[in-house]
């Protein structure tokens, strides 16, 4: 049995912890069956945005006619788009792999690991142990028990990156981030796309008004069918037929396409790791359970990233890695431990239009019994928004009425991620309020003014419920 000072399982954000420990002179084992770099680098953030940006450019060219610019799109080179994406990913992965393999204090073990006892892992033909471990094993595509799905075959966020040619038509099962992002990508490249989601609205859990705006705009290019549950799939010659039941009236509808993209959620990899064999608790779905310091139920074993099943963003995993580094490698006693802070977690959905946000939505604050003020402003309420012709752009902010603390924000439209990020900075100031915005001069005319206007027009909200019925928007391209 090989003894290490630290074992890290997972080469995504887990690499941050392993590298820092190696720099401190600890003997470290980094274990991952690959590919090196984890989800973000290989089949998540980086490759997907390399694909989605060309789709953004296509839509910008098409939208230009609204402001009097009639541009012509002559050709879209799918092979060039894919090869450019692969080149960026391959070089980054190769550089990271080389750095890990050349590290003197770090043993990079490129096989799958599983617990076989207390603090003991089996990694290929090696048995390794340490009293300090970090679980950063990520997650993988959830494959629901849909009759005929496996037999018919499907793409997921990993296999679609290997496509050699575009399908003429595509059905996406799921209505979340991945479905909306790749629905945007494929439709912009000319594929006839149908999204089938279980929830009454796309992007379940988002601000209802914002999600509806995305659904309405995306429906101009994608057939969006919500409130339907896929119950079976079958092959019909070169086509694949999907049967989906309306969750309100029970009626079954059929849809056909050349290919299916499965985007129905994520599942943990704990069934491969078996952390319970070392006393690490998981919840009923298999996500690793941690305390406020990111330590699991087993002393000395920490966890971070997608393995927790909470905020599945690489920037959050990087933040969690910093907390783990401090608590596991630097803190001297319990009083110095750092608590994880999720009050201002930002994110963006790079669909069409982009939706971004941070913190609580209006409905979340209401569910917590908080008295809130809500500010909203459309892009068209500002000179820059009018110049851009952005009729659907929206900013919403939520503040606690008694304290003035900013609880959250949601943005829909161009530069949504950049506008939401400004709220993240505000939520990390000493008082977490809007005074820095109110005191600042704002460049005119810019989209920054939409954010300022939203903060300037705060009102007590009138909560209206959205019917839990089936929503069918758009009829295709």
Supply the pTM of this predicted model: 0.94
Query: For residue 470, is it within any domain?
Result: no
Q: Examine the domain organization and report whether 227 and 292 are in the same domain.
A: no
Residue 472 to residue 195: CA distance in whole angstroms: 10
- Respond yes or no on whether the N-terminal peptide bond of residue 35 is cis (omega within 30° of 0): yes
Q: Examine the domain organization and report whether 122 and 32 are in the same domain.
A: yes
Q: Examine the domain organization and report whether 445 and 419 are in the same domain.
A: yes
Q: Examine the domain organization and report whether 133 and 6 are in the same domain.
A: yes
Q: Examine the domain organization and report whether 19 and 134 are in the same domain.
A: yes
Range of the domain at 281: 2-140+267-336
Residue 91 to residue 344: CA distance in whole angstroms: 33
> Which residue bears the tokens 């945007």?
184
Could you report the per-residue pLDDT of 93-152, keeping only the tens digit for each? 999 999 999 999 999 999 999 999 999 999 999 999 999 999 999 999 999 999 999 999
Query: For residue 467, is it within any domain?
Result: no
Query: How high is the pLDDT of residue 463?
Result: 53
Q: Examine the domain organization and report whether 367 and 309 are in the same domain.
A: no
Q: Examine the domain organization and report whether 251 and 329 are in the same domain.
A: no
Residue 26 to residue 3: CA distance in whole angstroms: 11
The CATH number of whichever domain residue 254 belongs to comes to 3.50.50.60
Query: For residue 348, is it within any domain?
Result: no
- The residue from 264, 287, 303 where one domain ends is 264
Query: For residue 31, is it within any domain?
Result: yes
Q: Examine the domain organization and report whether 74 and 129 are in the same domain.
A: yes
| Greatest distance between any 2 Cα atoms in the chain | 71
Q: How many CB atoms lie within 10 A of CB 75?
A: 6
Strand partners, 9: 31, 135
Query: For residue 343, is it within any domain?
Result: no
Residue 328 to residue 2: CA distance in whole angstroms: 21
**Alpha helices (H) along 219-269:** none
Supply the mean pLDDT for the chain: 95
Q: How confident is the model at residue 335 (pLDDT cuts 50, 70, 90)?
A: confident
- The residue from 224, 247, 264 where one domain ends is 264
- Respond yes or no on whether the N-terminal peptide bond of residue 323 is cis (omega within 30° of 0): no
Helix-then-strand count for the chain, H and E = 14, 25
Does the structure show a pLDDT above 50 at 216? yes
Query: For residue 464, is it within any domain?
Result: no
Say if strands 406-412 and 458-459 run parallel, antiparallel, or are unpaired.
unpaired
Q: Examine the domain organization and report whether 49 and 76 are in the same domain.
A: yes
Could you report the per-residue pLDDT of 402-454, keeping only the tens digit for each? 999 999 999 999 999 999 999 999 999 999 999 999 999 999 999 999 999 99
Q: Examine the domain organization and report whether 295 and 165 are in the same domain.
A: no
Query: For residue 469, is it within any domain?
Result: no
Q: Examine the domain organization and report whether 127 and 65 are in the same domain.
A: yes
Does the structure show a pLDDT above 60 at 2? yes
- The residue from 239, 264, 289 where one domain ends is 264
State the total domains in the chain: 3
Encoded tokens for 17: 């912890």
Query: For residue 368, is it within any domain?
Result: yes
DSSP codes of every residue in 70-126: --------HHHHHHHHHHHHHHHHHHHHHHHHT-SSEEEE-S-EEEEETTEEEETTE
* Strand stretches in 331-443, DSSP E: 346-349, 355-359, 372-378, 394-400, 406-412
Lowest mean pLDDT among 16-20, 352-356, 452-456, 466-470: 466-470
**Alpha helices (H) along 165-258:** 177-188, 208-218
DSSP codes of every residue in 330-351: I--SGGGPPPP--TT-EEEE-S
Could you report the per-residue pLDDT of 384-405, keeping only the tens digit for each? 999 999 999 999 999 999 999 9
The CATH number of whichever domain residue 357 belongs to comes to 3.30.390.30
Q: Examine the domain organization and report whether 10 and 107 are in the same domain.
A: yes
């Amino acid at each position: 049995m090989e003894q290490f000072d630290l074992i890290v399982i997972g080469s995504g954000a887990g690499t941050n912890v392993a590298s820092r420990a190696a720099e401190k002179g600890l003997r470290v084992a980094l274990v991952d069956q690959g590919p090196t770099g984890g989800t973000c680098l290989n089949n998540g953030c980086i490759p997907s945005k390399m694909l989605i940006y060309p789709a953004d450019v296509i839509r910008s060219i098409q939208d230009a006619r609204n402001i009097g610019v009639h541009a012509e799109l002559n050709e879209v080179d799918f092979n060039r788009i894919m090869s450019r994406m692969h080149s960026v990913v391959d070089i980054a992965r190769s550089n990271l792999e080389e750095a890990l393999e050349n590290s003197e204090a770090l043993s990079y073990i490129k096989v799958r690991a599983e617990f076989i006892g207390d603090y003991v892992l089996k990694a290929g033909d090696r048995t390794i142990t340490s009293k300090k471990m970090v679980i950063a094993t990520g997650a993988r595509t959830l494959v629901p028990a849909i009759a005929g799905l496996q037999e018919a075959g499907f793409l997921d966020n990993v296999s679609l990156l290997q496509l050699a040619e575009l399908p003429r038509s595509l059905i996406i099962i799921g209505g979340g981030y991945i479905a909306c992002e790749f629905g945007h990508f494929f439709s912009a490249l000319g594929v006839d796309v149908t999204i089938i989601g279980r929830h009454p609205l796309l992007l379940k859990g988002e601000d209802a008004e914002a999600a509806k705006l995305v659904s309405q705009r995306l429906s101009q290019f994608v057939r969006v069918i919500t409130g339907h549950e896929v119950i079976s799939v079958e092959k019909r010659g070169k086509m694949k037929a999907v049967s989906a039941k309306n969750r309100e009236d029970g009626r079954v509808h059929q849809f056909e396409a050349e290919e299916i993209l499965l985007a129905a959620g994520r599942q943990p990899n704990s069934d491969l790791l078996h952390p319970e064999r070392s006393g690490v608790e998981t919840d009923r779905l298999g996500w690793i359970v941690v305390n406020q310091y990111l330590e699991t139920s087993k002393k000395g074993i920490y966890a971070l990233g997608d393995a927790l099943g909470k905020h599945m963003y690489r920037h959050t995993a990087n933040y969690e890695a910093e907390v783990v580094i401090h608590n596991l490698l630097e803190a001297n006693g319990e009083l110095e431990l750092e608590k994880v802070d999720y009050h201002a977690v930002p994110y963006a959905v790079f669909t069409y239009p982009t939706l971004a946000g941070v913190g609580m939505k209006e409905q979340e604050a209401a569910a917590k019994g908080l008295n809130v003020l809500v500010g909203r402003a459309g892009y068209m309420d500002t000179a820059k928004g009018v110049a851009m012709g952005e009729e659907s752009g929206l900013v919403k902010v939520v503040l606690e009425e008694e304290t003035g603390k900013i609880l959250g924000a949601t943005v829909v439209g161009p530069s949504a991620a950049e506008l939401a990020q400004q709220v993240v900075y505000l939520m990390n100031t000493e008082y977490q309020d809007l005074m820095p915005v109110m005191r600042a001069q704002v460049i005119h005319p810019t989209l920054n003014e939409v954010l300022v206007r939203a903060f300037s027009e705060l009102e007590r909200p009138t909560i209206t419920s959205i019917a839990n019925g089936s929503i069918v928007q758009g009829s295709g391209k």
